Chain A
């Protein structure tokens, strides 16, 4: 081979490869702006699979939104890890799903990653401001608003879902509408007596759904402030010093020892396939029918609420959209207009929520929505992934099993009358400088978490051990920091209320 050819090939490699590598490293996102239509990159949370028909549905939705507000959306689904990575690496997006449980809102908002929409939202989208009111508090950090809460079940109601055919039909037991957590024991006991080889209480490594919702979680789930029924909620404590929580762990452990819980629960990921389990946990809202479809379960399901409704900062932050701090005002306003459209235009909202009418779903006579089998297979999202659940039509599980179309009105009324409010909803902990402690504490928690919440380990044995390890890792330093930020926030709040009072007096 001659030297010239060799050098050409070698040179060619470098000419091609080096720019490619640099492109990869620098990233090459571009904002598009054709014919006055603003195109937004919206990233939302991917819970299960990405729906197969998303492209078709988004085309239909974009046609509407282009005409109404001159905005189209490129909707991406990303997992928790991907969203975290995207936020941590400074990638450009216009709007992102953020919450207390995926893509931590308080952390990102304190770090200045979201656009301050306090003035913009009132100026550009007064209808949206009115729609979300009075739930803006949970999106506030130091008195400024950094996100749009998506109205859904803002307060958490925790319930048991029981096999009514078995307990009421066969055993003649009465399932009450409300019960205490420990009141489920006779049901578990009855089933266990009949089926000694089975485990009546559904449990996976993530623990009972919603058992922590009576707590305001400052650093989830290790530093908490109890505010639920009968709780004196005025001081933040480590989770192992919260008496009610410890009692719950003891209860779970008692059930575990009695054989109500699968012995390997702490390592089991999912129990969806096992339809025979007669008692499950659930978090939902008044009137929700999704747990009760007898066609899906093979038996009638009755729910019994054991907690709530509890309105905490965490629960109200269940689903939000944050706008990127790097957006120009035009894009930020476009984002807000888009959220306003999904919040106030029911027909448009239903496209994103359920797909294309006639293909993925149909409207029933009472105004509720029924998904078709195509819809269930090819466009089955949880409502909050694409916008406020409350602005979409209500879903019925079958033609005969109809939901109340005005369900949400009742839900929000109940929150106002019966809901128990956390007193520190407006407080966001700024964790800058303490992240190393939090990382160490979370690592310790993950050593025990699954076994505590599934009842596998005895809390009276492991909690002292956790306490010792967490204190060695800087728990007290972190607590002190949180308490000082909290008292500062409290005094600022008192000042503003006093000021408000005196203003009102004048």
Chain B
């Protein structure tokens, strides 16, 4: 192939690639009702944009400045080398702490019988016999497993739906607050609970719900009602746990959506206001469509951990109260309780392996479904 041909071929290749994530803004933004004839004013000049997937950040650049490039990393080559370097620590982190230890999966299929003083690898592969699926037995031993899995799924369902809905709602309303100081204050107050450990939250909740000295029972008695033994009454705890989780995490989750909302081109809103769009219309036709990829990404990621649960929430907050176990026992709590006194690596590995497999399958399926509906919003 002639040198010039090759160059032009590569250049084309680059152009094609660069334009994959690019689209004209008109595609994504429907004309506001009653404003069809003013489209040009809304759109402004043509620009291209690409998004850093999942981050909610959109970078806008003029396409005519893209130059051909043939570096070692293919089309991303030289231009992105500095970005590659920046990601190197993360790549090493993942290799060292996530990919390298993956041999640990073998724990799930072996009866781990280490000889003290020998290398882990030798202890695992030479000194420990294969036992097939025997390590999974302890999960099936308990007749409560269906209930435990039901609990895990139940809470995660609410956490996913409300854990996305409420932060999005908060983010949209926070952007509507114009006083910078007030906005900063609200934001700080909402994020703060995220940094409390579950142990502390557990005692905060206890301060409210203690039978004798708790605030809630004080209040009930003030109105002449009987105090409730909260830690012995499972009926209330599904609600309490969901509220506690949202109180703790919603502010932090909101930041991601706040970034995404802030990154939306303000001129779109200005245009919409000029066109007479109401607040709800602006949310409906500008904000939500722009948030869709972010929401989808987070949704898919949360689906991937559907069998996992926050141990602190389900173990520390109910103070490990036995009467509440029917509503607080999730898979992680069960594994902890069963293995706390045993320190059995093989059983724990089997339980985690099961969680990962279910999570992986669900993640792939969800991603496929979302891809089928809207290919731009899928994770990969």
Contact = CB atoms under 8 A, between A and B. Distances in A.
B175 interface: no
B321 A266 contact: yes
Contact of A1 (B81, B101, B141, B334): B81
Interface in A241-274: 262-264, 266-267
The majority secondary structure among interface residues of chain A is: helix
B75 interface: no
B211 A264 contact: yes
B38 to A, nearest CB: 47
A450 B320 contact: yes
A448 B324 CA distance: 10
Contacts of B137: 436
B321 A469 contact: no
A469 B144 contact: yes
A10 B85 contact: yes
Contact of B117 (A10, A90, A438, A473): A90
A447 interface: yes
Nearest to B97: A21
Given A439-B338, A439-B347, A473-B142, A457 B323 contact: yes
A449 B138 contact: no
A447 B138 contact: no
Size bin of chain A's contact surface: 35 or more
Interface stretch (B42-50, B119-127, B182-190, B287-295): B119-127
Nearest to B232: A456
Interface residues of B, number: 55
B72 to A, nearest CB: 8
Contacts of B339: 439
Given A473-B142, A474-B141, A262 B212 contact: yes
Contacts of B337: 442-443, 446-447
B344 interface: yes
Interface string A13-38: 11001100100011101000000000
A89 B138 contact: no
A446 B342 contact: no
Nearest to B137: A436
A290 B229 CA distance: 36
Contacts of A1: 81-82, 85
A92 B118 CA distance: 8
B347 A326 contact: no
A401 interface: no
Contacts of B85: 1, 6, 9-10
Contacts of B115: 90, 325-326
B116 A447 contact: no
B363 to A, nearest CB: 27
A437 B322 contact: no
Contacts of A26: 119-121
Nearest to A266: B321
B116 A440 contact: no
Contacts of A87: 343
Contacts of A13: 88-89, 92
Given A21-B100, A267-B231, A439-B347, A90 B114 contact: yes
A106 to B, nearest CB: 13
A78 to B, nearest CB: 12
Contacts of B144: 444, 469
B343 A442 contact: no
B344 A88 contact: yes
A174 interface: no
Contacts of B231: 264, 266-267
B142 A440 contact: yes
Interface of B: 72, 81-82, 85, 88-89, 92, 96-97, 100-101, 112-121, 123, 134-135, 137-138, 141-144, 206, 210-212, 229, 231-232, 319-323, 325, 329, 334, 337-345, 347
18 contacts: A25-B100, A25-B121, A26-B119, A89-B114, A90-B117, A113-B116, A264-B211, A325-B115, A326-B115, A435-B347, A437-B138, A439-B138, A442-B337, A442-B338, A446-B322, A446-B337, A457-B232, A473-B142
Report, nearest first, the 10 A-B pairs whose CB atoms are least far apart: A90-B114, A84-B343, A436-B138, A440-B141, A326-B117, A267-B319, A92-B117, A443-B338, A439-B338, A263-B211
